[in-house]
């Protein structure tokens, strides 16, 4: 009895305050709505509206583009860091590790505003460029999709480092040495041993960054603008500005479905890893 | 100069040194390994044996000294071009490749023809008695089989030198003894020069042509198993390999006919030595427990050294008995006796412990004795 009770409390909490509101919200995606109030009429119109307007389709495509770019950048940048952190025998190892993960200590909002301070019209980057006479007038770097990618990559890098460190910890450094002793150069040895053996970590790190990036709100909201809407910012606009709950819900369904597909992919990958 | 090449050592280390920060890991090591010779680097962990191996392999760059492989200086040769066969402690088999692919790796790096690779891989697997298991992945193999794949993978490239880094330490006792003789047999059959790193004295004694006993980055003594065991150069060597009784001694007169009289804490002693001892030298006399024999007082053979002892305890070890003794000066000693059935010795008995002039070895009680002296 006691174990069931232990599970029942949190399960009840989640049902009441997470599952139920989400079901209500998502069910709105299939209902026509007048203003904020969904009517009782069933329709697929919300989805067709989303997919027939260029501006919404662009936002969906942009979101996936950001996710792919951030996922790839996080893996590319985190891999060397994780590799060094796992393989180093330096007594500063723990300090280096703490430094690599220190961005986690600051809130995403603070870190994102940091990028804004750097890149806005009167920001540090523009002042430096003009002081060095590299540009005559300030460059407009904000808002832009590129800066959103930079901000998200920065925010997610520590997670990538952690994921890849876990993968690299499972690979003996002697494997590369063995390959080298058998005549492979350093890069060849890495490509023949550590790289394929950490593939699940690479895929895992990519999916993690991709999943968080496509559903991120704060970073695209701060570093982006009306021309760089993502699914998350668009949902907010539908809900809070346009007061169209049905469209917001429909877009929420698209986002949720993408994330679930991703989770399933992750599960498949880890199952394949468990089999080998 | 084909004649000169034949006589080149397979490996020659001269003044090899490595420091990590303020710590000296390897201090001026000189070592020669002849063609076909099996040399063991033996020592406790942290003695520099693995660092030495890694410098030979090229994974660590020495701070000073030279490394020659078959007469060729290799300090500036990257590790993948040194043509060495290495067996690692954890075997380092590629887990995502099967046994045959593991063995083939070095041959593929050498860009040999597919048919030749297949033939040589099959030969190598047969050599280590693994034919038929070529499609198994490392995780599907037992510890001993993995060890054999690692050996085949290192040997199939026909290296000039084989490096073994504690390859037996991950196996259980029975398998370890089996692999010990298997590696020895293979090494002799192929006649390949081998450097073997271990902290296990039994492996060193049974497998090696010569043993280099290392301590704190230096080679303390190098010689055959018999040299190391019976004529230890230092207290460290005497106590690291097997157990030994150490008794303080001084020369007690001039040698006559190769026999040297000594005065020891346990009584006078006579040694047979082929070298003179400096008068007044402080010595530690090393006597192995199996060479110290017990006999009723006054019955020791003529010409031997006999010391009065009191028996403190007898430990039953099956095939032999370990007898704890107290010498005349009150210091403890140990004698081993074959278990021949009759339990003649009991605690409290007084007897003579005797040994022949060839059965003890004098060690200069000098700087090398810190920490290990009794």
**Closest chain B CA to residue A89:** B20
| CA–CA gap between residue B342 and residue B265 (Å, rounded) | 31
Count of helix runs (H) and strand runs (E) in chain A: 15, 2
Q: For position A269, what pLDDT does the model report?
A: 72
Closest residue of A to B102, CA-based?
A179
Looking at the structure, do residues B194 and B334 belong to the same domain, yes or no? no
Q: What is the pLDDT of residue A191?
A: 96
State residue A273's pLDDT score.
60
Whether residues B304 and B160 share a domain: the answer is no
**Is residue B371 over pLDDT 50?**
no
Mean pLDDT, all residues of chain B: 90
Q: List the beta strands (DSSP E) in chain B.
A: 11-20, 23-33, 38-42, 64-69, 72-73, 84-87, 161-165, 193-198, 210-215, 218-223, 245-251, 259-264, 267-272, 283-287, 293-295, 305-316, 320-326, 332-338, 350-355, 360-364
Span A13-42, pLDDT tens digits: 988 888 888 888 778 888 887 766 777 788
Residues B21 and B72 in one domain: yes
Q: Are residues B193 and B248 in the same domain?
A: no
Question: Given CB atoms, is A167 within the 8 Å cutoff of chain B?
Answer: no
Contact criterion met (CB < 8 Å) for B78 and A185? yes
> Of the ranges A176-185, A267-276, B2-11, B297-306, which is most confident?
A176-185
Q: Closest approach of chain B CAs to the CA of A211, in angstroms? A: 29
Average pLDDT score over residue span B128-136:
91
* Segment B336-342 long-range contacts (CB within 8 Å, at least 24 positions apart): B336/B289, B336/B290, B336/B292, B337/B293, B337/B294
| Residue ranges of chain B whose CB lies within 8 Å of a chain A CB | 57, 59, 78-86, 88-90, 92-96, 105-106, 109-110, 153-154, 157
The predicted model gives B21-46 an average pLDDT of: 94
pLDDT digits (tens, 9 = 90+) for B305-334: 999 999 999 998 888 899 999 999 999 999
Find the residue in B nearest to A188 (Cα). B109
A177 touches chain B (CB under 8 A): yes
3-state secondary structure of B120: helix
Q: Which tops the pLDDT comparison, B361 or A258?
A: B361
**Subunit contact A183:B110, Cβ cutoff 8 A:** yes
Q: How confident is the model at residue B13 (pLDDT cuts 50, 70, 90)?
A: very high
Please judge whether B94 and A178 are an interchain contact, meaning their C-beta atoms are less than 8 angstroms apart: yes
- Asked whether residue B180 falls in the same domain as residue B328, the answer is no
**pLDDT value of position B2:** 41
More confident residue, B1 or B60: B60
For residue A173, what is the nearest residue in chain B, using CA coordinates?
Answer: B92
Kindly report the CA angle at B360 between B319 and B254, in degrees rounded to 5?
160
Q: How far is A188 from chain B (nearest CA, A)?
A: 9
Put simply, the answer to whether B157 touches A175 (Cβ < 8 Å) is no
Chain-chain contact of B109 with A184 (C-beta, under 8 angstroms): yes
Task: Write down which residue in B183, B201, B235 finishes a domain.
Answer: B235
Q: Do B92 and A178 touch (CB under 8 A)?
A: yes
Quick one: pLDDT at residue B280?
A: 83
- Inter-chain touch B80–A172, beta carbons under 8 Å: no
Q: Which residues pair with B64 in a beta bridge?
A: B17
**Chain A to chain B, count of Cβ pairs less than 8 Å apart?**
61
Does A182 sit within 8 Å of B157, measured CB to CB? yes
**pLDDT of B369 above 50:** no
Would you call A241 an interface residue with chain B, using a CB distance cutoff of 8 Å? no
Using CB atoms, pick whichever of B79, B90, B94 lies closest to residue A181.
Answer: B79
For chain A, the average pLDDT equals 88
CB distance B90–A174 less than 8 Å? yes
Structural domains in chain B (count): 2
pLDDT at B211: 97
Check residue B44 and report its DSSP letter.
-
Residue-wise pLDDT tens digits, B254-274: 888 889 999 999 999 999 988
CA count, 13 A, side-chain hemisphere, A259: 16
Peptide bond into A143 cis (omega under 30): yes
Q: What is the pLDDT of residue A35?
A: 65
Nearest chain A residue (CA) to B140: A276
- The model's pLDDT over B169-195, given as tens digits with 9 standing for 90+, comes to 888 888 888 899 999 999 999 999 999
For B80-116, the pLDDT digits (tens) are 999 999 999 999 999 999 999 999 999 999 999 999 9
Domain shared by B219 and B355, yes or no = no
Give a yes or no: residue B374 inside a domain. no
Where do the domains of chain A lie?
58-275
B268 lies in the same domain as B171: no
Same domain, B229 and B250: no
Chain B residue nearest residue A170, CA to CA = B95
B249 with B218, same domain? no
B305 belongs to a structural domain:
yes
Q: B235, B263, B287 — which closes off a domain?
A: B235
User: Is residue A118 over pLDDT 70?
Assistant: yes
Q: How confident is the model at residue B4 (pLDDT cuts 50, 70, 90)?
A: very low
User: H or E stretch including B228?
Assistant: helix B225-230
Of A175, A182, A276, the CB nearest to B106: A182
B-chain residues near A172 (CB < 8 A) = 90, 92
Measured between CB atoms, which of A175, A186, A196 is closest to B92? A175
- The domain that contains B260 carries what CATH number? 2.40.50.100
Averaged pLDDT for residues B339-364: 89
Edge-to-edge strand list for the sheet holding B210-215: B84-87, B161-165, B193-198, B38-42, B210-215, B218-223
Residues B92 and B168 in one domain: yes
Instruction: Using CA coordinates, name the residue in chain A closest to B153.
Output: A182
- What pLDDT is stored for residue A274 in this prediction? 56
Last residue of a domain, one of B235, B267, B286: B235
B249 strand-pairing partners: B264, B283
Q: Do B153 and A182 touch (CB under 8 A)?
A: yes
Same domain, B148 and B7: yes
Q: What is the pLDDT of residues A64-113, one digit of tens each?
A: 999 999 999 999 999 999 999 999 888 888 898 898 888 888 888 888 88
Instruction: Determine which of A178, A188, A190 to mutate to test the interface with B (most B C-beta atoms within 10 Å).
Output: A178
Q: Residue B141 pLDDT > 50, yes or no?
A: yes
Query: Residue B316 is part of which domain span?
Result: 244-369
Check if A88 contacts B (Cβ < 8 Å).
no
**Interface contact A166, partner B, CB < 8 A:** no
pLDDT band at B65 (very low <50, low <70, confident <90, very high): very high
Q: Can you give the pTM of this predicted structure?
A: 0.83
pLDDT of residue B250: 92
Q: Which residue in the set A175, A185, A276 is minimally distant from B94, CB to CB?
A: A175
CATH assignment at residue B120? 3.40.50.300
Cβ of B80 within 8 Å of Cβ of A174? The answer is no
Cβ neighbors of B25 (< 8 A, separation 6 or more) are B18, B19, B48, B51, B217
Is residue B165 domain-shared with residue B58, that is, in the same domain? yes
The number of beta carbons lying within 10 Å of the beta carbon of residue B241 is: 20
Residues of A in contact with B96 (CB under 8 A): 196-197, 276
Q: How much is the average pLDDT of A198-211?
A: 91
Contact between A179 and B85 using a beta-carbon 8 Å cutoff: no
**What per-residue confidence (pLDDT) applies to A266?**
76
Residue A174: band (very low, low, confident or very high) from pLDDT cuts 50, 70, 90: very high
Chain A closest-CA separation from residue B85 CA (Å): 7
Residue A169 has pLDDT above 50, yes or no: yes
In this complex, the residue of A174, A184, A196 whose CB is nearest that of residue B92 is: A174
- Whether the per-residue pLDDT at B374 is higher than 70: the answer is no
Q: What is the pLDDT, as a whole number, of residue B372?
A: 35
Class of domain A58-275: mainly alpha
């Amino acid at each position: 009895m006691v174990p069931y009770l232990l599970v029942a409390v949190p399960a009840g909490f989640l049902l009441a305050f997470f599952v139920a509101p989400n079901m209500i919200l998502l069910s709105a995606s299939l209902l026509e709505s007048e203003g904020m109030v969904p009517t009782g009429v069933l329709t697929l119109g919300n989805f067709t509206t989303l997919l027939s307007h260029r501006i919404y389709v662009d936002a969906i495509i942009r979101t996936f583009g950001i996710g792919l770019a951030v996922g790839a950048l996080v893996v590319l940048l985190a891999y060397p860091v994780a590799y060094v952190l796992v393989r180093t025998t330096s007594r500063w190892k723990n300090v280096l590790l703490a430094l690599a993960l220190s961005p986690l200590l600051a809130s995403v909002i603070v870190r994102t505003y940091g990028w804004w301070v750097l890149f806005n019209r009167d920001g540090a980057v523009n002042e430096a460029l003009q002081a060095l006479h590299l540009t005559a007038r300030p460059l407009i770097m904000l808002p832009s999709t590129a800066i959103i990618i930079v901000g998200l990559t920065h925010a997610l890098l520590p997670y990538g480092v952690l994921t890849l460190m876990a993968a690299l910890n499972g690979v003996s450094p002697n494997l590369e040495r063995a390959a080298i002793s058998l005549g492979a150069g350093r890069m060849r040895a890495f490509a023949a041993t550590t790289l394929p053996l950490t593939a699940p970590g690479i895929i895992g790190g990519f999916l993690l960054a991709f999943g968080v990036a496509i559903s991120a709100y704060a970073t695209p909201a701060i570093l982006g603008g009306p021309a760089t809407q993502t699914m998350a910012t668009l949902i907010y606009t539908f809900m809070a500005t346009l007061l169209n709950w049905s469209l917001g819900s429909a877009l929420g369904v698209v986002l949720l479905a993408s994330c679930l597909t991703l989770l399933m992919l992750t599960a498949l990958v880890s199952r394949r890893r468990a089999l080998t | 100069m084909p004649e000169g090449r034949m006589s080149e050592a397979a490996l020659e280390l001269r003044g090899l040194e490595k420091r990590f920060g303020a710590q000296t890991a390897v201090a001026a090591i000189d070592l020669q390994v002849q063609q076909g010779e099996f040399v063991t680097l033996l020592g406790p962990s942290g003695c520099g044996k693995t660092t030495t191996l890694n410098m030979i392999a090229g994974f660590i760059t020495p701070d000073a000294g030279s490394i020659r492989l078959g007469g060729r200086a290799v300090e500036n040769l990257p590790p993948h071009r040194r043509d060495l066969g290495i067996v690692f402690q954890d075997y380092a088999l590629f887990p995502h490749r099967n046994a045959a692919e593991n063995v083939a790796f070095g041959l593929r790096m050498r860009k040999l023809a597919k048919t030749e690779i297949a033939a040589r891989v099959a030969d190598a697997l047969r050599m280590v008695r693994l034919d038929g298991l070529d499609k198994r992945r490392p995780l599907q193999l037992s510890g001993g089989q993995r060890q054999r794949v690692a050996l085949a993978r290192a040997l199939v490239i026909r290296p000039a030198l084989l490096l073994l880094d504690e390859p037996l330490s991950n196996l259980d006792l029975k398998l370890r003894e089996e692999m010990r003789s298997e590696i020895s047999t293979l090494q002799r059959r192929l006649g390949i020069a081998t450097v073997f790193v271990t902290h296990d004295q039994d492996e060193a004694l049974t497998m090696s042509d010569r043993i280099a006993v290392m301590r704190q980055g230096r080679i303390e003594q190098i010689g055959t198993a018999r040299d190391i065991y019976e004529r230890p150069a230092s207290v460290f060597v005497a106590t690291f390999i097997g157990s030994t009784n150490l008794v303080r001694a001084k020369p007690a007169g001039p040698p006559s006919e190769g026999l040297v009289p000594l005065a020891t804490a346990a009584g006078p002693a006579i040694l047979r030595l082929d070298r003179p001892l400096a008068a007044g030298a402080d010595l530690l006399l090393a006597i192995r427990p199996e060479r110290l024999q017990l006999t009723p007082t006054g019955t020791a053979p003529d010409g031997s050294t006999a010391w009065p002892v009191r028996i403190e305890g007898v430990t039953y070890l099956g095939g032999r008995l370990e007898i704890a003794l107290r010498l005349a000066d009150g210091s403890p000693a140990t004698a081993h006796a074959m278990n021949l059935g009759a339990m003649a010795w009991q605690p409290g008995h007084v007897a003579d412990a005797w040994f022949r002039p060839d059965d003890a070895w004098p060690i200069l009680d000098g700087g090398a004795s810190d920490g290990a002296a009794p």
